[in-house]
Each structure stands twice: as C-alpha cells, then as structure tokens.
Structure 1
Amino acid sequence: MRWEHLLRQTSDWQGTLWGKPDWADRPEGKTPADWPNRPLRTPGTHYKYNDVRINLLALSTLYVWRKPLPEVLNEKIMQPIGASSTWRWYGYDNSWIELDGKKVQSVSGGGHWGGGIFINAWDLARFGYLFLRDGKWKEQQLISKDWIAMARTGGSANAEYGFANWFLNPGRKALPNAPETAITFQGAGRNVIYIDQQHDLLIVTRWIGNGDELNQLVGKVLAALPD
C-alpha cells in the first residue's frame, strides 16, 4: 500500500481506527452480516470513497509532519492566503496519540462521526482560488505544480477521482455543462468549490443538492459570462 493508494482511495486497507472499522463507511454487502466479510482487493485496483481510510491517511501524515495537521495547514496555507481565524479542523474524542512526548489529536478527513473541517464560504473561496492559480498566491508558490498535476489526473481505478477530494470531469460525465478540465472539491452536506481554469472561474456553493443542481448552476453561470 502506497501514499498514492491512500490519496486515490484505492488502498482497500482493512482494519479498525478510532473504534471505526473500514467497512463502517458505505458498507458493501446485502446484509449487515456481510459487511465485515467484504472481498479483499489488491491496492490500486478498486476505488471506494471511505472516510476511515482517509482518517488513516491523516494519521500517517501526522507521523510524517510530527505536529498537528491543523497547525500545518494554518502555517503553510491558510495564513499565506489570508484566510480568517474562524475555521476549525476536528478529530474525535478518542483520536489522540502520544507523539514525541506530547498528546496530539489526529484529525479526521471527512465529516462523518463529528469530525472534519468547519469553514466559511469566504475561506473556501480563497482556498479554491489558490488552486485556480495552480498553487500560487501572489508571488509565492505554496503548492508544487507537479503535485497539482498528479492530483488533477484520474487514477486507473476511477478516472473521475484524482488525489483526495479532487473530483474530475472526464468526458463531461459528472458535469455536462462544464468543460472537461473543470474540478470540484466536495464536502459533507454538499459544500462545493468549483474550479474552472478555462473560464477563469471559481464558484463556492453551500448545501446544494446531490442531484443535477450543481450542473444546472454551472450552466447558468457560464451562460451569463460575456463571450
């Protein structure tokens, strides 16, 4: 299992983390009795959006940085882009570890079970604008262009999913009204950052429906742009 498998949601990791088994998020099988006995796949061959495995990615990253990930995000990204001080990134009551003699909370990657990032629309827009400009803010390259190129490339198991939370639009299948190069970041409740470099366009939506609502919104905005 490699970092790329965790980022592309293709690790098929099996286990329990913070009291939550891997099958707890979007379980497979016809009955609850089937859930713990799911088929095992070779890493990289099967895509499944799974918050337990994203939590594993967060924990692994914590051991690399050796400091709380909210501090890393704040120092490396949120402060340089001028984000507010109101956003919060939470883990769970039991997701604490001892790291270098200190108690540190491992944050969660998704909004399931009470964790995740809580953030306002203005901060989401600034975060999205950073990627509209290929990781550059003013004169500072905050995120590697090489990393962004990998993140916006679909994997072999799912061409519509890049690195963690990069939803792509090959063949304009997900968003028929948008260009193929459009990208979305999506969070629980369907809070969305839409990034469209072809039209130099950034859209932030909050609590939009899970159906065709986003595609309709994008179509209306693009139709309103000057030729």
Structure 2
Amino acid sequence: MKKHIFTLFLLFNSLVLLAQESYFPERNAVWEQKSSSDFKIDSEKLNAALDFAKDNEYSGSRDLRIAILKGFEREPFHEILGPTKKRGGPAGMILKHGYVIARWGDTKRVDMTFSVTKSFLSTTAGLALDQGLISSTKDKASDYIWDGTFGGEHNSKITWEHLLQQNSAWSGELWGGKDWADRPPREGDIDDWKFEKPKESGTFMEYNDVRVNVLAYALTHVWRKPLPQVLKEHVMDRIGASTTWRWHGYDHAWTEIDGLQMKSVTGGGHSGAGMFISTEDMARFGLLFLNDGKWKNEQIISQNWIQQAIKPSEPNVNYGYMWWLNRKGDRYWEGLSENIYYAAGFGGNFIVVDKENDMVIVTRWLEPNKIGEFMTKLKEALD
C-alpha cells in the first residue's frame, strides 16, 4: 500500500512540473533565477558540473584570429575574410522551465559563436517556408535562384533540404572560397580530391562552409533583404533579445537585389564573420526552440518546422537542418536522451535543447571534446 502511495506521489510531482508554465524573460530585465533545490536538483553535483566547465576552457588562443588561422591551417588558400573578435573566458547558463538555475562567466559579453550560426541560418529558411516564400524543402533551389549559382547538370539537382542537411555536394566557388578547398581530407593527395567528381546530392554529408554560405546567399535572394534583418524582425526582437548581437558576412560578400547592395552573411566563422552574440541571447534562442517555437502566447516559428529541423538526415543520423542530434551514431552522448538536440560551434560554443527535462544549456569556450562529459555530470545532478 505504501509503495503505491509513494508511486502516486512521484507521479503527482511529475505532473505538477510538466504543468508548470515556462518563464520568459522580458527584454533588458534581470533574468529571474531559481534555486536548483526548487527543482530537486542536487546542488553539490550541479556545482561539480559548473566547476568542470570552468576548468576545461577551450585550449586555443583567446585571440580568435590566431585560433582560426591555426585551427584551419590545413586548408589551401585559407585566410581571414571577415571580422573577428578576441574572446572572453568560459561562460554559460542553465535554464529550467525558463528560469536560470546556474550561470558562470560574463553572460552579457558578445563573442563569436562560429557554427552555432548555422542554426540561426536554418531558422531563416524555416521562416521562409512558414511564410510561403519556399513551398517545400524538397524543391530544387534552381527553381528559385536562376542566376547560375545552381546551374549545370550537378548543381541543378540540389534541393533546399540538401543545403540544410549539408549533403548538397554543391560544386563551385563563392566569395573566393572553393568548395573542394574547405576541410580537405586528412589522407591522400589534395590534388586528387580537387578534381574528384562531386558526390550525388543527398547521399553524403560534408561539413563545408562554402556550401553553407551558398544557402545564405540563396535565402538572401528569396527574402530580398539581408538575413540579419529577417532574423531581427521575425525572431530576435520578438523574443526580447538585446540589441548587441551582430551577424556578419565577409568584407567583400555583396550582392545586388532590387537595385540595392546587400551583404550576404556567413553560416560560420572559420574565415571570420558569422554570428557575434551574448550567452543570454543564445539562451533566449534555445528557449524559443524548447517551447516548440512559441514565446509566451505567440507562435514565432512553426512547430512543423522545428520537427523537420530535428529529423535525422539519411546520410547522417546525427544531423538535421543544421542542428546536431543526440542519436546513436558517431556523435552520440552515451547515456543521455536521444531527444536532445543542439547547435555547436568552434571553440566549444553550444546551445543544447533538452525537451525531456525542460532545460536549455548554453556553454561558451568549453573544450569541445568535453561537452559530452559535462552533460553527463549535469544529468547526474538531475538524477
């Protein structure tokens, strides 16, 4: 009898937590905090996880210009083409039901965020789909962009989905960047790879910033306005983000639309540029996705888009529409929920969305190969 009563007690507590409404911080307001004990989280183990994040700072130079050139020195023709910024130290936030239960470092400092930018980029594609500017991600990009970017027998087959899943195998050059020179193979002669026939679109994922920048260029032409303006109007202002974030492109990446010169932004920062943003604004973005695209009572991004964005691609079970997925594959965090998904960037920048625990975790400048261990320590605090 006592066992049944205890079980009902646990079930009741779980239902109470599930029923609890998320907190959404107002713009420029102090983000409300709650104690970890309010959510039955082990404070000692939580502090151990935080200490781990602080003690495992990314080992690259804080001068990110140096870190970038060192990190990508194997790439032929690699150079800095856009803005960079010296970074701060380790920082992060952990949200539960929208409340801050932990933070460390300077969470208002604006830093580069590298490939976390890709998750912001894919969101502008989702907004285009929500508004009918793109009918389907299965559509060929060449049906929308006719200037030759998607010309030829190979590139004309590429769909929006291929671009979003990084399996387009787009072949060409954009803003001086050659697709074959981005992240060359570690073995073999690069000249052999340079002249290799492109793989069939949709069959093989290749992490490639040139092809990501092609997506940004194409979306700029679909929207007929700069993507930072799209993101600001449709997302960031509506979730109360600060006015400090910036989304840069390469210095020479200009295109003309409707007689106006517009900057085409990048989806990362491995040649400079990309998203420069604070930890707190990253946390707001994560909170929006945690709540299925809804902020308070306003549906900002459709739930349908988010479900598409976190669906595993066929070539890579760990990758959706520019979100990483914690599925059993090469990037699986052992022992953690397979429903976790996250944005990830060079230098240990992460936005982790944990739907099952109603949590968002943001880390800055955590040694990248330590994120799985950090998440495991956090899970121990929850257990």
Taking structure 2 as the reference length, the TM-score comes to: 0.57
Does structure 2 retain, via aligned residues, the 8 Å contact 1:177–1:215? Answer: no
Which of 1 and 2 has greater Rg?
2
Question: Which structure has more RCO (C-alpha within 8 Å, separation ≥ 6)?
Answer: 2
Is 1:38 aligned to residue 169 of structure 2? Answer: no
- Coordinate RMSD, CA, aligned: 1.3
- Which residue identity lines up with residue 13 of structure 1 in the other structure? W
- Which residue identity lines up with residue 104 of structure 1 in the other structure? M
- Which residue identity lines up with residue 112 of structure 1 in the other structure? H
Q: 108, 113, 118: which one pairs with 2:266?
A: 108
Please give the alpha-carbon distance, in whole angstroms, between the structure 2 residues aligned to 1:162 and 1:55: 17
- Which residue identity lines up with residue 342 of structure 2 in the other structure? T
Q: 207, 220, 223: which one pairs with 2:377?
A: 220
Tell me the matched-pair count. 224
Report % sequence identity.
48
Please give the alpha-carbon distance, in whole angstroms, between the structure 2 residues aligned to 1:150 and 1:35: 33
How far apart are 1:127 and its partner, in Å?
A: 0.4
How far apart are 1:77 and its partner, in Å?
A: 0.5
Is 1:15 aligned to residue 210 of structure 2? Answer: no
Please give the alpha-carbon distance, in whole angstroms, between the structure 2 residues aligned to 1:68 and 1:160: 30
Q: Which moved more, 1:168-177 or 1:73-82?
A: 168-177
Does structure 1 retain, via aligned residues, the 8 Å contact 2:169–2:200? Answer: yes
Does structure 2 retain, via aligned residues, the 8 Å contact 1:12–1:40? Answer: yes
- Give CA deviations for 1:180-209 in whole Å, capped at 9, x if unaligned: 100110122220011100111111001111
Q: Which moved more, 1:29-38 or 1:124-133?
A: 29-38
Does structure 1 retain, via aligned residues, the 8 Å contact 2:346–2:368? Answer: no
Please give the alpha-carbon distance, in whole angstroms, between the structure 1 residues aligned to 2:312 and 2:197: 24
Q: Which runs of 5+ in 2 are unaligned?
A: 1-157
Secondary structure, aligned partner of 1:119 = strand
- Structural mapping, 1:1-227, within 5 Å: 1-28=158-185, 30-164=188-322, 166-171=323-328, 174-211=332-369, 213-225=370-382
- Give CA deviations for 1:33-77 in whole Å, capped at 9, x if unaligned: 234213321110111111100000000000000001000000001
- Give CA deviations for 1:151-203 in whole Å, capped at 9, x if unaligned: 11111111110002x00011275211420100110122220011100111111
- Which residue identity lines up with residue 95 of structure 1 in the other structure? A
Does structure 2 retain, via aligned residues, the 8 Å contact 1:5–1:43? Answer: yes
How far apart are 1:107 and its partner, in Å?
A: 0.3
How far apart are 1:216 and its partner, in Å?
A: 1.3
Please give the alpha-carbon distance, in whole angstroms, between the structure 2 residues aligned to 1:203 and 1:103: 38
- Which residue identity lines up with residue 339 of structure 2 in the other structure? T
Does structure 1 retain, via aligned residues, the 8 Å contact 2:324–2:342? Answer: yes
- Give CA deviations for 1:128-150 in whole Å, capped at 9, x if unaligned: 01001111111111111111111
Q: Which moved more, 1:7-16 or 1:181-190?
A: 181-190
Please give the alpha-carbon distance, in whole angstroms, between the structure 1 residues aligned to 2:365 and 2:197: 34
How far apart are 1:91 and its partner, in Å?
A: 0.4
Please give the alpha-carbon distance, in whole angstroms, between the structure 1 residues aligned to 2:196 and 2:175: 20
- Give CA deviations for 1:2-36 in whole Å, capped at 9, x if unaligned: 00000000100000000000012112362232342
Secondary structure, aligned partner of 1:89 = strand
Q: Which moved more, 1:39-48 or 1:54-63?
A: 39-48
Please give the alpha-carbon distance, in whole angstroms, between the structure 1 residues aligned to 2:196 and 2:249: 27
- Which residue identity lines up with residue 37 of structure 1 in the other structure? F
Please give the alpha-carbon distance, in whole angstroms, between the structure 2 residues aligned to 1:14 and 1:56: 10
Distance 1:38 1:209, change over 3 A: farther
Taking structure 1 as the reference length, the TM-score comes to: 0.95
Please give the alpha-carbon distance, in whole angstroms, between the structure 2 residues aligned to 1:196 and 1:138: 19
- Which residue identity lines up with residue 147 of structure 1 in the other structure? W
Please give the alpha-carbon distance, in whole angstroms, between the structure 1 residues aligned to 2:319 and 2:362: 19
Does structure 2 retain, via aligned residues, the 8 Å contact 1:177–1:218? Answer: no
- Which residue identity lines up with residue 39 of structure 1 in the other structure? K
Query: Where does structure 1 differ by over 3 angstroms across 4 or more consecutive aligned residues?
Result: none
Does structure 2 retain, via aligned residues, the 8 Å contact 1:6–1:54? Answer: yes
